Amino acid sequence: MLRKILAAAVVMSGAWGCAQPSAAAAAPVRSGFYEGLVLAVSPTGRVVGHFNMEQGEGVVKRCIFDFAGQMRGNQAIIHSAGSPRLTGRITATSADEISFSMAHVKDLPGCGLVLPPEAETAGGTELDLIKPGAWTDLATVKSARVAFKATPGGAGGRAYMVKGDVVGILGRQGNQVKVVYPSERDTWAQGWVAAADLAASRP
């Protein structure tokens, strides 16, 4: 579950200039599967994230949105996709934890019922790294069903993805893309798929 920052924080509106840990004081933000978040950081420092957090049983509440930004030291200023375009920040607080904050993020569909109040403050809410990833970008499956292939252009195997799944990009070869599907499972499915079956994540 999300864990609250212990120190009280000023509401983010107009508070972006508050002192933050220096780059030397914390590890850099890295690609991985966090609590409710799949995050990709490229070698050039571009950050792309897919937030998908849910709460409840029976009637499940979901907060889903994408964002992008650029690393500066141990943090990135990010902007949400779509409208309204919100501004936020991700900061590495340790090697296996980040702080996420975005003003008015609880106004996004479903997010007011899922995210804690700290997500809208300068201090933010902490997200634990569940498992690091080697991907440098994200993409969304746009075809109804896509099977993983062991080799580029080979036959599809039993493991597959469906439309709307978000995957991490591990590599490319011609019109084939090597991807991994992060999930709660201990072992993540990965393999090659056609680039035509994916939509680039470019918020």
* Residue 151 in domain: yes
Residue after which a domain boundary falls, among 74, 98, 132: 132
Counting as low any pLDDT under 70, the low residues of the chain are 1-26, 202-203
* CATH code of the domain containing 152: 2.30.30
* Residue 2 in domain: no
For residue 9, what is the DSSP state?
-
**Gyration radius of the chain over CA positions:** 17
pTM for the full model?
Answer: 0.84
37 and 89, same domain (yes or no): yes
Q: What pLDDT is recorded for position 26?
A: 53
70 and 114, same domain (yes or no): yes
56 and 103, same domain (yes or no): yes
Domain span at residue 150 reads 137-200
Q: What pLDDT is recorded for position 138?
A: 97
- Residue range 12-30, pLDDT digits in tens: 333 334 444 443 445 789 9
54 and 73, same domain (yes or no): yes
Number of domains in the chain: 2
Residues ≥6 apart with Cβ < 8 Å to 99: 5, 89, 90, 91, 93, 123, 124, 125, 126, 127
Q: How many CB atoms lie within 10 A of CB 47?
A: 20
- C-alpha 15/C-alpha 121 separation (Å) is 9
Residue after which a domain boundary falls, among 115, 132, 149: 132
Across the beta sheet with 189-194, the strand order is 156-162, 145-149, 189-194, 176-181, 166-173, 137-141, 198-200
117 and 166, same domain (yes or no): no
- C-alpha 92/C-alpha 95 separation (Å) is 7
Q: What pLDDT is recorded for position 75?
A: 93
